[in-house]
Chain A
Amino acid sequence: MRDVCNSGTLFVVGVATAIAVLIPQIVNLYLVIVYSNLAIMALFALSLAWVWGYGGILCFGQSAFFGLAAYVYAVSVINIGESTAPFLLAVLVPTVFAAVIGALMFYGRVSDIYFAIITLCVTLILYSLISSTAGPQFHIFAARLNGQNGISGFRPLNLPGRSDDVLGPVESFYVCMTFLIGCYVALKFLLSSRFGRVVVAVRENPVRAELLGYDTRWTRTFVFTIGAAIAGLAGALFAVWGTYVNPSLFDLRMAALVIIWVVVGGLGTLAGPMVGAVALQYLGNVLGKQQLANTGMIYGFLLIVFVMLVPQGVFPTMQRLISRWSLRRSQYEMKLLGDDISKGMQGR
């Protein structure tokens, strides 16, 4: 409990809660909808921040879980009508998928790089499969998959059990922020628990963890599955947010984006990637409106520059600069104190 209630965590939760409460009061509905999307992307980034930063598992295909959840929601809500079961299903399916793929890879002792590449392949294959589903023969009961055009116009979230009570933009924003803050706090609790400390140890030195008796394969599979569940939650929220899903959720760009957010925000923290996602997504929106340069070019360029110049990401670098500044201040103060003492000792 003590570990969770530290100043950093409380600061983040405080800021996020303030944002959640204040935003709908100060901005217009259109912006509330935009900010809901930013919250969803922050949640998506959080999932990879957990898996990669704390689990030490480099996953190139986190978008697979995101996209899968979105599609599962769309397909099931078209078939079922009321949104509660589809939403739960949307989180469950990628979780189970991750557990299976993860176990297959980790228990096979596949190396880190190979694991990363395989996950990339999984998301690309899902992209290929789903983008080739144009034509009426590709449907899951009542829901046509529509290939590149995607699925649109399905029901957004309604209050559980009351299918006519559909959530409006402000309520949806509250839902997104609640899930974001909730997952952040839940992960912080998990990290301060016995299991969480083992997770970090396995990341630090898997050989030593094994020699101490920890089954690193199981730990990693579990960490990976939790990350997929959070990514799935983000995907489900994305589907209800835009009521539109298409294969681009699985493509290379989506897979790259979430990695970029984590790298820029700061690998090894939970808050950094969330901020990175919000900042870069916002930047992307702004850039998307201009015609000067291709967005992909700018993103790619940014990524290269960031890794070359700020390899640990923005947050950790800022943290280091702040602590170095405060260390210098305290060293300076110690020096002043020392001078005073020596003056006193010389009887001046």
Chain B
Amino acid sequence: MTVGAPLLETQALTKRFGGVLAIDRIDFSVEPRELRCVIGPNGAGKSSFFKCLTGLARATSGRVLFMGQDITRADPCHIARLGIATKTQVPNVFDGLSVRENIWIAANRHSISGVQAMKASENTIQRLGLSTAANAVVGQLAHGARQWVELAMIVVANPKLVLLDEPTAGMSGAEIFRVEKLLNELKSTATIIVVEHDVKFIRRIASHVTVLHNGSILIEGPVATVLSDTRVRDVYLGRHSVT
């Protein structure tokens, strides 16, 4: 990890839903241009963690800092405008609109004019190989294709930080390879945090991994070290509870 100010940082971040403690005093940080994977068994708190980062959920206590700025209580639209782009676990796209429209709307937010947005979205459509599908209605595309459109909407916005919640879920091998290639390209301009389950995929793209368990960070470090740690295996296989 390069030494310097972290791009994104959380301090004692806690989220309670009713009686359930989803995340518990998490201190997390990620450096600029890093690609970090966040893994953990179901219920570990990964999605809740992301929701607190994007503003879709409000943290119970603690702080979230982006480039030094406190975004803990900020609205999702303001967080997005700071340069954070998100892919949610269940794809959130405009199902009734075409692929081109979807990407245009993503581009429009960062463009001075509709024409500029049109150029930016056409560029992205070409780059991501969506030219033939550009007029298709997104709601009618297959699951993997919809996720790919959502990634296109992220790419066109030129974000500083990309949050991806299970980007390869339900994708074929070829589609996963495409995602991997895209992420490797994105690494040069953006910082990326990926929640994933696919271990082979993680090994190929990430340099560092954070493991969440029961709402806390179990272990963090380089990919190889973490994935071979017995505690991590135990947590996934439920061998015995790790305190």
Note whether A and B contact each other (Cβ less than 8 A).
yes
A→B interface (CB under 8 Å): 193-194, 197-198, 200-201, 204-205, 207-216
The CB with the most chain A CB atoms within 10 A, among B76, B88, B104, B110, is that of B76
CB pair B96 A204 closer than 8 Å: yes
CB pair B101 A213 closer than 8 Å: no
Given A209-B105, A214-B77, 18 other A-B residues pairs in contact with their CB atoms under 8 A: A193-B114, A194-B113, A194-B117, A197-B101, A197-B105, A201-B101, A207-B92, A208-B93, A210-B75, A210-B76, A211-B76, A211-B88, A212-B109, A212-B157, A213-B80, A214-B109, A215-B75, A215-B77
Q: How far is the CA of A205 from the CA of B139 in the complex (A)?
A: 12
Task: Indicate whether B97 reaches chain A with its CB closer than 8 angstroms.
Answer: yes
13 examples of A-B residue contacts, CB within 8 angstroms: A194-B113, A194-B117, A205-B92, A207-B88, A208-B92, A208-B93, A210-B76, A210-B80, A211-B80, A211-B88, A211-B92, A214-B109, A215-B75
How many whole Å from A14's CB to the nearest CB in chain B? 28
Cβ contacts under 8 Å, A211 to chain B: 54, 56, 76, 80, 85-86, 88, 92
Q: How far is the CA of A194 from the CA of B108 in the complex (A)?
A: 8
Main secondary structure, interface of A, reads: helix
CB pair B77 A207 closer than 8 Å: no
The CB with the most chain B CB atoms within 10 A, among A207, A210, A215, is that of A210
Cβ contacts under 8 Å, B114 to chain A: 193-194
| A203 and chain B: residue at smallest CB distance | B96
How many whole Å from B8's CB to the nearest CB in chain A? 16
Interface size for chain B: under 10, 10 to 19, 20 to 34, or 35 or more residues? Answer: 20 to 34
Interface members, chain B 87-134 (any A CB < 8 Å): 88, 92-97, 101, 104-106, 108-110, 113-114, 117
Cβ contacts under 8 Å, B88 to chain A: 207, 211
How many whole Å from B136's CB to the nearest CB in chain A? 15
Quick one: which of A204, A210, A212 contacts B106, CB cutoff 8 A? A212
| B97 and chain A: residue at smallest CB distance | A204
| A213 and chain B: residue at smallest CB distance | B80
CB pair B97 A198 closer than 8 Å: no
Q: How far is the CA of A275 from the CA of B109 in the complex (A)?
A: 36
CB pair A201 B105 closer than 8 Å: yes
The CB with the most chain A CB atoms within 10 A, among B56, B75, B93, B157, is that of B75
CB pair A200 B97 closer than 8 Å: yes
Q: How far is the CA of A204 from the CA of B81 in the complex (A)?
A: 20
Cβ contacts under 8 Å, A204 to chain B: 94-97
How many whole Å from A223's CB to the nearest CB in chain B? 16
Asked if A212 meets B101 with Cβ closer than 8 Å, knowing A197-B108, A204-B95, A205-B92, the reply is: no
